[in-house]
Structures are given as C-alpha cells and as structure tokens.
C-alpha cells in the first residue's frame, strides 16, 4: 500500500512539474503573440503609408504628363475642369 501511495505522489509531483512548465511556456507564448501583434500592426501601418506614397507618386507623374500616364492625366484634368465648372455654376446662382 505504501508503494502505491509513493508511486502516486511521484506521479502527482511529475504532473505538477509538467503543469508548471506548460504554464510558463503558455505565458511565454502569450507574450510573444502580443509582441508579434504589435510588430504586425506597425508593419500594416507602414504598408499603408508606402501605398499612399506610391499613389501620390503616380498622381504626381500623371499630373506632370508622363507618357506612361497620359490617359490618367487627361482624365484628372477633365475631372478638375468639371469640378471648376460646377463651382462656377454654383457661384453664378
């Protein structure tokens, strides 16, 4: 009977040790997840920033009349002219 109790105590001790190890590992992984989520958020913001810069550069090239963006430039000019005409019409009312 004493051997069975000793065996159970030994197994319980091993289980508690394993539980503590897993608990530490879980805490470590949760901290890592939080850090990675912060890094991910920063990277998403940086990607948005660069996408906006790229869009601005394309618009600048279009406004400058780059051969690559002539159609886009004409479209933007026509849009600006329509907006100006609408403003003039609104002011003349």
pLDDT at position 28 is: 97
- Please give the average per-residue pLDDT across 48-74, as a whole number: 78
Query: In 1-93, where does DSSP find H-type helix?
Result: 2-64, 70-92
Cα–Cα distance for residue pair 25/30, rounded to 1 Å: 9
Cα–Cα distance for residue pair 11/34, rounded to 1 Å: 34
- Above 90 in pLDDT, residue 29? yes
pLDDT at position 60 is: 77
- Above 90 in pLDDT, residue 58? no
Asked whether 38 and 28 are in contact (CB, 8 A), the reply is no
pLDDT at position 71 is: 75
């Amino acid at each position: 009977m004493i051997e069975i109790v000793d065996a159970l105590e030994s197994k319980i001790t091993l289980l508690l040790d394993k539980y503590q190890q897993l608990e530490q590992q879980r805490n470590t992984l949760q901290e890592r997840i939080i850090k990675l989520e912060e890094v991910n958020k920063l990277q998403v913001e940086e990607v948005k920033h660069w996408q906006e810069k790229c869009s601005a550069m394309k618009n600048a090239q279009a406004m400058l009349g780059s051969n690559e963006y002539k159609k886009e430039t004409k479209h933007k000019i026509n849009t600006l002219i329509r907006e100006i005409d609408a403003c003039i019409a609104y002011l003349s009312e």
